[in-house]
Amino acid sequence: MKYVVAVKSSKAKGLVAKVYSQIKNDFGRIVEPFTLHSPIPTLLAGVWMASRESELVGNVSRKIKEAVAASVSKINHCPYCVDAHTIMIRATGEKKTAQLISQEHYQKINPLRTRKIVNWALSTLSPDSKEISFPPFEAEDAPEIIGTAIFYHYINPMVTIFLGNSPIPVPFFKSQMKYVASNILFKKAVKRPKTSGTALPLLPSKELPADFSWAKDSPNVSGAYARLAEVIKDLEKTFVPKQTQETIKQYLNDWKPQSSGFGLEWLNEETLNMEVQSKTATTLALLTILSPYRITKEFIDNFRSAFPQQNQLLGIAAWASFTKARKIGTWLNDK
C-alpha cells in the first residue's frame, strides 16, 4: 500500500473494528481496497456498505455482479481489480467467464444474459451507446447492477493510486495463485448466505440525493449510497478547497470520456491562476478522475508540501473519484 497507513486488524477499534468484522465474514478476507480507507473510519464504513449492499447481497446473482465489477475494472485500466474480481468470479464457479473477461474475449461469454450485461458494463463510459440506452436487465435489478458498476468506477482510481498492479504477490505464478485464492480464500465466503441490510446500521440514515434515483427501488442499495454520499459531502467540506470544488463540478457537468480533450496542457491552463493549495488539490482531483496512473511519488511529495495534514490526500482523492462515479450514474439512470 502506498501513501496511506491502513489500520491493522489487530489494532482496529470502534467503527473500524465493526467494519473489519463484517468484511472478514462476508467478503472472506480484510482486503486492501477496503483497508486503504481505514484512516477515515466513516469513509471505510460508507465504502464497505456501498459494495456489500449492491454487490454481495440481493436478488441478482453474485456471478453476474462480479462480472460487472471485473468488466468496469477493465475499461478503467485497473489490473489489480481485474485480477481480484476474476478470482471472485472463479469462486462463484464460473472459471470460463473469468478467463474470457481476463482475455477480453467478451463475445464468447455464455449464457447470453451474462454476455449482454458484461457488454453493458464495458459501455458505462459511453453514455450515448446502444447498450446504455437499452440496458439488458429488468428495472428491479437496476439498483444492484448499476450500484455495482458505480462502486467500481469509484474504487478503481483509488486502487490505482494507493495499491499495486495486482493482489497476487508473485505474478509468475498468477494462474496457480488465482486457483488458491478462489478455491481456498474466498469460495466459502462467496457461497455463505448473507442478509441484506446488515451494513446499514454502521452509519446514521440519510436522505438519498436526487441524482442517485437509480437506487431508489432498493431500500438497502439506496440506504448504503445515501450514507456514502453524506460521508463524501463531509469530506468535501473538510478537505476540498472551494475553487477545486467549483472547477471539478464544472468540468464534470458536460464531461463525456470519449471527447474530454484532457491532457497535461489543458490541466496546466485550467489551474494557471489558482493559488497553490487550490491548484494542487485540483490537479490531484483531475488526475484521480481521468489519469490516476499519472499520480507518482514525486507528485504526492509535492502535494504534501501544500497539504501536510493527515488524511488530506485520501479525502480529496475519495471525493474526486466519487464525484466522477455519481456523474456516471446519471448516464445510466437517464435511459
| pLDDT tens digits, one per residue of 88-123 | 999 899 999 999 999 999 999 999 999 999 999 999
Amino acid, res. 256: K
Distance separating alpha carbons of residues 212 and 282, to the nearest angstrom? 25
Give the total number of structural domains in the chain.
1
Distance of CA 89 to the CA centre of its chain: 17
Question: pTM to 2 decimals?
Answer: 0.94
Does a structural domain hold residue 83?
no
Does a structural domain hold residue 246?
yes
Does a structural domain hold residue 299?
yes
Q: pLDDT of the chain along its 335 residues, tens only? A: 999 999 999 999 999 999 999 999 998 899 999 999 999 999 999 999 999 999 999 999 999 999 999 999 999 999 999 999 998 999 899 999 999 999 999 999 999 999 999 999 999 999 999 999 999 999 999 999 999 999 999 999 999 999 978 766 545 445 655 545 555 567 677 788 899 999 999 999 999 999 999 999 999 999 999 999 999 999 999 999 999 999 999 989 888 776 555 556 667 777 888 899 999 999 999 999 989 999 999 999 999 999 999 899 999 999 999 999 999 999 998 54
Phi, psi angles (nearest 5°) of residue 327:
-65, -45
DSSP string, 203-260: S---PPPGGGGGGTT-HHHHHHHHHHHHHHHHHHHHH--HHHHHHHHHHHHT--GGG-
Does a structural domain hold residue 29?
no
All three cell numbers of 67: 462480472
All three cell numbers of 263: 491532457
Q: Are 20 and 27 in contact (CB under 8 A)?
A: no
Does a structural domain hold residue 267?
yes
Distance separating alpha carbons of residues 49 and 86, to the nearest angstrom? 21
Q: By residue range, what is the domain housing residue 238? A: 234-333
Does a structural domain hold residue 258?
yes
Phi, psi angles (nearest 5°) of residue 125:
-100, 15
Does a structural domain hold residue 100?
no
Rg (CA), the chain: 19
Amino acid, res. 147: G
Does a structural domain hold residue 292?
yes
